[in-house]
A and B are shown apart, each in its own frame.
Chain A
C-alpha cells in the first residue's frame, strides 16, 4: 500500500532549481533512501516533504490526502515526523524530559484540565513518562535518561533525536542523514536501530550522502542529482545503473580530479 507519494515536486530559489520535478512513492513498511552527491537537493526535498518549505510546484500526498501546504506541526499530526541533522535536541532538558515533551500529540486532557491537574492530565503524564522510558530503553539510552542533553556524549545525541521523533508516534519517519560522520562500528549500530524502528511498524524514508550503509539497509533507493531524479530501484539495480555511477564518480571533476 502506498503511504506517501511525491508528485512532480519542484522548488526554485530565485534562478536556481534545487528540486526539479521529482516523483516517487513510499510503500507502507519499507525503508526507502534518497541519495545523491552533495548539493543534489536532498535536504531541500526533505524539507518539502516535511512541509518546512513550500514547494514551487508539485505536491505531496500522505495516505491519499494532500499534505503540502500544511504547517509542519499539522503534517506531524498526520503521521509524518522528521529528524534533523546532527544534534538538534532540547539541550536544557534531560534525555527523559526531551522524549516526554515530544508526546504532545498524544494529549487527551483539555487545556483547563491540564492547568488544574485533572485525572486525565495525570494519566497523560504517566503514560508519556512510561512511553518515553520505553523508547529510551529501546534505543539504548536508558542509562543516560537523567543526563541533561547538553552534557550527553556526542554519539548519543542522534539517537536522542530519533527518540524524540518516535515519541510523536509517526507512521512515516523521515531521517536526515542518520549515518553522517559515523565510523563503521557506529554505522552498524545505527543500521540496526533503523531496522528496529521498521519492526515497530514505522515506515522509514531516509536521506543520506554516504552510500555504503544505505546499500545494506534500503528496500529501494531513489537517486537524485542536480535536483532531478536520475534512478530508482533496488540497491543492486541502482548500484549498476550507469547514470548513478556517473553522477557519483564519472564526470565529476571534484571527486576524481583530472
Chain B
C-alpha cells in the first residue's frame, strides 16, 4: 500500500514496470477529475466554474513546481499567464484564430520569452532569483498597460472556444488539460531528467563537476514552466472572455508559489492538492467577506507550521496509522 501511495504521489518506486507506474499515478487523479467532481457539481454551474478555475490554476502551479524542482523559487508565473492570455486574446480577436491554435501559440510565446529571460536570470539563486521574478510579474503588467495599440491594455469580447459551450464542457477540457500537464511533469520528475533536476537543486557545483550542463537544464525547466503559465493564461482569457493588465498581479504569482508550498514540494501531486485546497477554501470563506483574508492567512500559517512538507505529507501518515490499526 505504501508503495502504491508513493506512486500516486509521484514518487514511484524504482522497481515497478513503466506502464503500471503511470496507471497507478494517473487513475486516482482521473477518477476524481472525471468522476467525483462532475457528479458532485453537475447541477451547480458556479461550483463547476470554481473547479474549472482550480484545474487551470493547478496546471500553472505544476509549472512552478518544476522550477522548485531545480531549486528556484519562481514568483513570475503570473507574468507568463498574462503573456499567454494576451497572445490568445490578440490572435483570436484580431485574426480570428481558433482557440485550439491560440493555446499552443500562447505556450510557444511564453516558452520563448521564458527561455530568453531565464537564461541570464537563472544564474541568481535563492532570494535574489525570487525577488527578480517577482518584479518580472510587475514589469509584464506595466508592459501591457503601456503597450502602444492596446489603448490601456484591456481586450474584451474574446470568443469562447468552439465546442466548449457549457460550463461542464469547459470543465472537462480543463480537467483533461490538467491530467496531461500532470502526466508531463510526473514523467519529467521520475525520469532521468528529474534526477538531474534533483542533483542541481541539491548541489549545483557538484552537478557541474560531473558534466551536467546546469545552465541548459535550468532554462529548459523554466521554459516548460513558462509555457504552462502561458497555456493557463490563454485558457482563462477565453473562459472569462476578457483580459486586462491587472488580470494577473504579483499576488497571483505569489499564490502559484504558495499552492506548491502548501500541497508539498516532494510530490508532483502537491501543487494540484494545494491549488484545489486553497481555491475551495477561498470560496467557502467568501461568505464571511471581511474576515476572508485573515482566515486565509491563519489557515496558511497553520498548515506551514504543522505540515512543513505540505498537505500531501498527511496521506502516508494516515495510511500508516490506519494500516497499523487494521492489522
Using a CB–CB cutoff of 8 Å, the interface residues on chain A facing chain B are 50, 52, 71-73, 76-77, 81-84, 88-93, 97, 100-102, 104-105, 107, 111, 114-115, 117, 121, 124-125, 164-165, 167-168
Interchain CB contact under 8 A, B192 and A92: no
Interchain CB contact under 8 A, B18 and A115: no
Interchain CB contact under 8 A, B210 and A111: no
B199 CB within 8 Å of chain A: yes
CB-based nearest A residue for B216? A73
Return chain B residues, CB-CB under 8 Å to A167.
210
Query: Separation in Å of the A85 CB from the closest CB of chain B?
Result: 12
Interchain CB contact under 8 A, A91 and B208: no
Per the bound structure, the CA–CA distance linking A155 and B276 in Å amounts to 46
B27 CB within 8 Å of chain A: no
Interchain CB contact under 8 A, A164 and B210: yes
Query: Separation in Å of the A180 CB from the closest CB of chain B?
Result: 18
Interchain CB contact under 8 A, B210 and A165: yes
Contact size class for B?
A: 20 to 34
Q: Which of A72, A90, A115 contacts B193 (CB 8 A)?
A: A115
CB-based nearest B residue for A168? B210
Per the bound structure, the CA–CA distance linking A101 and B206 in Å amounts to 11
Interchain CB contact under 8 A, B211 and A101: no
A selection of 11 A-B contacts at a CB cut-off of 8 Å is A71-B208, A71-B213, A82-B209, A91-B203, A92-B202, A101-B199, A104-B212, A115-B188, A115-B193, A165-B209, A168-B211
Give the contacts of B175-217 with A (CB-CB under 8 A): 187-188, 191-193, 195-196, 198-199, 202-203, 205-206, 208-215
**Given contacts A92-B198, A121-B192, are A164 and B206 in contact (CB under 8 A)?**
yes
**Given contacts A88-B203, A93-B202, are A107 and B192 in contact (CB under 8 A)?**
yes
Interchain CB contact under 8 A, B202 and A50: no
Query: Separation in Å of the A1 CB from the closest CB of chain B?
Result: 23
Return chain A residues, CB-CB under 8 Å to B203.
88-91
Give the contacts of B199-241 with A (CB-CB under 8 A): 199, 202-203, 205-206, 208-215
CB-based nearest B residue for A84? B206
Per the bound structure, the CA–CA distance linking A196 and B33 in Å amounts to 57
Interchain CB contact under 8 A, B210 and A105: yes
Query: Separation in Å of the A117 CB from the closest CB of chain B?
Result: 5
CB-based nearest A residue for B199? A101
Return chain A residues, CB-CB under 8 Å to B198.
90, 92-93, 101
Per the bound structure, the CA–CA distance linking A104 and B216 in Å amounts to 14
Return chain A residues, CB-CB under 8 Å to B215.
71
Per the bound structure, the CA–CA distance linking A14 and B210 in Å amounts to 30
Return chain B residues, CB-CB under 8 Å to A105.
210-211
Return chain A residues, CB-CB under 8 Å to B195.
97, 100-101
Interchain CB contact under 8 A, B18 and A117: yes
Query: Separation in Å of the B223 CB from the closest CB of chain A?
Result: 13
Per the bound structure, the CA–CA distance linking A120 and B212 in Å amounts to 19
